[in-house]
A and B are shown apart, each in its own frame.
Chain A
C-alpha cells in the first residue's frame, strides 16, 4: 500500500509539472504581448510598456521565465525594485497588473467561496441522488421509480444557468421563501447562518443537475449489483432484505460512486463558472472568467494550474479511497 501511494504521488507530481509547462507555453506563445496588456486599453506609451516588461520579467528568455515561475511557487517572488517593489511570498503564482494584486492572494479570496459552494452542493446531491437512486431501484417499476425518472429527465435537461434563474425568480422574488441574497458572500466563520442563506440557492442549483445524474447511476448500479451471485448467496444464508441491501448490495453498488463524486467535486472546485455568475458569487470560476475577458494572463495561468492541481489531487484521493473500499485493487 505504501509503495502504491508513493508511486502514485510521483506520477502526480510529474503530471502537474507537465501541465504547468504546457500552460506556460500557451501563455508565452499567445499572440498577445503580456507587457502591453499590463497598461490598460488606451495605453500607447512604449516607455511604460518596456518598464513593465522588465519589472515582470517578460523580457527574459522563455525557460528562464518558466524557471522563475516554478521558483516563485516554492520561494516567493519579487517584482520591480526600490519604491515600486512588489513582493509576492510563496507560493507565488505571479502578479496581476490589472488587479494590482498577487495572484495567490486573489485565489486565496476566491477559493473559500468556491469550496463552500462545492461542499454544500455535493452533500445535497449525494443525499438526494443516492437516496432517490436506492428507492427507485428497490421499488423498480413502481410510482417512486417513475417519479424519479421524471426528476432525472428534468434535472439532466435543464442547464444550471436556467435552473438558477428559475429558482431565483420563483423562490426568492415570487414566493419570498428566502430573502433576496445581499450579493455579498459571508465567510462561514463570520456568520454561518448568513453563509448558508446566501449559498442555499446556488447549492440547490448545482445539486439539482448532479443529483439527477447520480440518481440514474445509483439506480442502475444497485439493480446490477442485486443480480450478482453473491447477493443470492446472502439471501440463501437467511439474511433479512434490509441487511442484504444495506450491507451487501450498497457496499458494492456505491463503490463506483466514490470515484464519480471525487472527480465531480474536483471539477466544481476548479470553478462553477455558470452558477457563480448567476448568483454573483466571487469564486474561482468568476475570477477565471473575468481574467479571460480581460486577458489577465497571470490569473489564467494560475487558475488553470490550480484546477489541474485539484483534479490530480482528487484523483489520488479517490484511488486511495477506492483501494480501501475494494480489497481487490489493493494488491495491484
Chain B
C-alpha cells in the first residue's frame, strides 16, 4: 500500500516578470514507514513541493495542479483536490511538519506546554488534562529533561537544539503517519544536527511513521533516507534508492553534489570539486535541459540536444530514474 502518491504536481507563481514554475510535473510515491529525501539547491522547488502538499501555499498567489492521493485515518483523500477547510483536519493530525528554523517557528508569547497542548486539542475532543499528559509524554520522548516543569517555559528559554526537539514533540503529538521535515538541522550546530537526526530516525522506527526529509546536506541524506529525489530547477532530475544513488549517480548534477562533499572513504588528499555557475533564474530557464549551462559532461551528448531538448525522466536500473541524455537507452 502506498501512503502518498503524488502525480504531476506543478506549482506556478505569476509574477510581474513572468510565470515562475517553481515545481514542474513532479511525481513520486512514499510508502508507510519509509524516508524519502528531497535534495537540491535553494530554489529547486523542494520546499514548495511540500508546502503545496500541506495546502500552505496561498491560492491567490499561486496555481497548484496535479494530484496527491494520501491514505488518511479516514480513507483516501486528494491533498491537492480537497477543499482547504477540509484539508485542515488532516494537517497536524495525519501529516505534520517541522521547519528549518526552530528559533522563529515557535510562538514567542506562549509557553511550549500551551503550544503542544493546543496542537493536541485541535484534533482530539478530550479533556485538557489528557492533552497535558500527552504533551509531557512527548517532551520526555524527545529527550527534554524535567519535561513536567519545562512545560511552563517559553521558547526563548531553550537552546536551538532543544527548540527543535520541542517542534518535533509538537509535530508528533497526534501520531501522524507522515512527517515532513523541511531542513530540520540546517539552523543547528553540527553536533546538535547529529543528535536531532538520530532522534528523528529513532522516533520514526518506534512510531512507524513515513518521513519526507527536505535537505541540501548529502551527509544527512546518506544517514537517514531510504529513497532520494534530486531536484533541480523545479524538476526531479534523479530518483533512486539511497545506496544506488551514492554508488552509481547517473545525472551530472547528482554527481556534482556528491563530489562536492567530503567523504571518509576517499583519500584525504583528493580535492573537493564544486559545481560551476549558479542555479538558473526561475523566470528565464535555459532552453533544453535546465542544467546544461553548468553541465561539464554535455560534450558527451551528440549535437546540441542538451541545449534544445528537455530530457525525460527514464528508468535506468532497479527503481532508478534519471533525467539525462547521457546513458539513455543503453
Partner of A230, one of B56, B108, B119: B108
Assess whether B96 is interfacial by the CB under 8 Å rule. yes
Q: Is B105 a contact of A237 with CB atoms below 8 Å? A: no
From known contacts A228-B104, A232-B56, infer whether A237 and B109 are also in contact, taking CB-CB under 8 Å.
Answer: no
Q: CB-nearest residue of chain A relative to B180?
A: A236
From known contacts A238-B123, A328-B154, infer whether A233 and B118 are also in contact, taking CB-CB under 8 Å.
Answer: no
Q: Is B108 a contact of A252 with CB atoms below 8 Å? A: yes
- Residues of A near B105 (CB, < 8 A) are 229-230, 232-233
Partner of B108, one of A235, A238, A327: A327
Q: CB-nearest residue of chain A relative to B118?
A: A237
- Residues of B near A251 (CB, < 8 A) are 107, 109-110
Count: A-B pairs, CB below 8 Å: 66
Interface string of B133-158 (1 = CB under 8 A from A): 00000000000000000000010100
Partner of B156, one of A229, A232, A236, A328: A328
Assess whether B93 is interfacial by the CB under 8 Å rule. yes
Assess whether A248 is interfacial by the CB under 8 Å rule. yes
In whole Å, how far is B54's beta carbon from the nearest beta carbon of chain A? 6
In whole Å, how far is A230's beta carbon from the nearest beta carbon of chain B? 4
- Residues of A near B54 (CB, < 8 A) are 236
In whole Å, how far is B141's beta carbon from the nearest beta carbon of chain A? 18
Q: CB-nearest residue of chain B relative to A235?
A: B56
How far is A233 from B56 in the complex, measured between Cα atoms in Å? 10
From known contacts A237-B118, A238-B91, A328-B108, infer whether A229 and B101 are also in contact, taking CB-CB under 8 Å.
Answer: yes
In whole Å, how far is B103's beta carbon from the nearest beta carbon of chain A? 8
Assess whether A325 is interfacial by the CB under 8 Å rule. yes
- Residues of B near A252 (CB, < 8 A) are 107-109
- Residues of A near B263 (CB, < 8 A) are none
Q: Is A229 a contact of B104 with CB atoms below 8 Å? A: yes
How far is A229 from B108 in the complex, measured between Cα atoms in Å? 11
How far is A250 from B255 in the complex, measured between Cα atoms in Å? 48
Assess whether B321 is interfacial by the CB under 8 Å rule. no
- Residues of B near A326 (CB, < 8 A) are 108-109
Q: CB-nearest residue of chain B relative to A328?
A: B156
How far is A234 from B167 in the complex, measured between Cα atoms in Å? 11
Q: CB-nearest residue of chain B relative to A229?
A: B104
How far is A252 from B90 in the complex, measured between Cα atoms in Å? 26
How far is A87 from B200 in the complex, measured between Cα atoms in Å? 79
Interface residues of B in 57-99 (CB under 8 A from A): 88-93, 96-97, 99
Assess whether B106 is interfacial by the CB under 8 Å rule. yes
Assess whether B284 is interfacial by the CB under 8 Å rule. no
In whole Å, how far is A229's beta carbon from the nearest beta carbon of chain B? 4
- Residues of A near B90 (CB, < 8 A) are 238
Assess whether B272 is interfacial by the CB under 8 Å rule. no
- Residues of A near B110 (CB, < 8 A) are 251
Assess whether B170 is interfacial by the CB under 8 Å rule. yes
Q: Is A325 a contact of B99 with CB atoms below 8 Å? A: no
Q: Is A236 a contact of B88 with CB atoms below 8 Å? A: no
Interface residues of A in 66-105 (CB under 8 A from B): none
Q: Is B92 a contact of A237 with CB atoms below 8 Å? A: yes
Assess whether B287 is interfacial by the CB under 8 Å rule. no
How far is A136 from B56 in the complex, measured between Cα atoms in Å? 22
How far is A255 from B106 in the complex, measured between Cα atoms in Å? 17
Assess whether B122 is interfacial by the CB under 8 Å rule. yes
Q: CB-nearest residue of chain A relative to B100?
A: A229
Q: CB-nearest residue of chain B relative to A234?
A: B107
How far is A327 from B153 in the complex, measured between Cα atoms in Å? 10
Q: CB-nearest residue of chain B relative to A239?
A: B122
Q: Is B109 a contact of A236 with CB atoms below 8 Å? A: no
Q: Is B119 a contact of A237 with CB atoms below 8 Å? A: yes
How far is A114 from B39 in the complex, measured between Cα atoms in Å? 65
Interface string of A314-330 (1 = CB under 8 A from B): 00000000000111100
Q: Is B91 a contact of A327 with CB atoms below 8 Å? A: no
Q: Is B107 a contact of A238 with CB atoms below 8 Å? A: no
In whole Å, how far is A210's beta carbon from the nearest beta carbon of chain B? 26
Q: CB-nearest residue of chain A relative to B60?
A: A141
How far is A126 from B89 in the complex, measured between Cα atoms in Å? 35
In whole Å, how far is B42's beta carbon from the nearest beta carbon of chain A? 17
From known contacts A233-B106, A327-B109, infer whether A238 and B89 are also in contact, taking CB-CB under 8 Å.
Answer: yes
Q: Is A237 a contact of B99 with CB atoms below 8 Å? A: no
Interface string of A214-253 (1 = CB under 8 A from B): 0000000000000011101111111110000000100110
In whole Å, how far is A60's beta carbon from the nearest beta carbon of chain B? 55
How far is A251 from B110 in the complex, measured between Cα atoms in Å? 10
Q: Is B109 a contact of A325 with CB atoms below 8 Å? A: yes
Q: A233-B99, A236-B54, A327-B109 are in contact. List 17 more A-B contacts (CB 8 A).
A: A229-B104, A230-B105, A232-B105, A233-B105, A233-B106, A233-B167, A236-B96, A237-B118, A237-B170, A238-B88, A238-B93, A238-B122, A239-B118, A239-B122, A240-B88, A252-B108, A328-B154
11 CB < 8 A contacts A-B: A228-B104, A229-B99, A230-B107, A230-B108, A233-B167, A233-B170, A237-B118, A237-B122, A238-B91, A251-B109, A328-B108
Q: Which 4 A-B pairs have the closest CB atoms?
A: A238-B92, A238-B91, A229-B104, A237-B92
| Chain B interface (Cβ < 8 Å from any Cβ of A) | 54, 56, 88-93, 96-97, 99, 101, 104-110, 118-119, 122-123, 154, 156, 167, 170
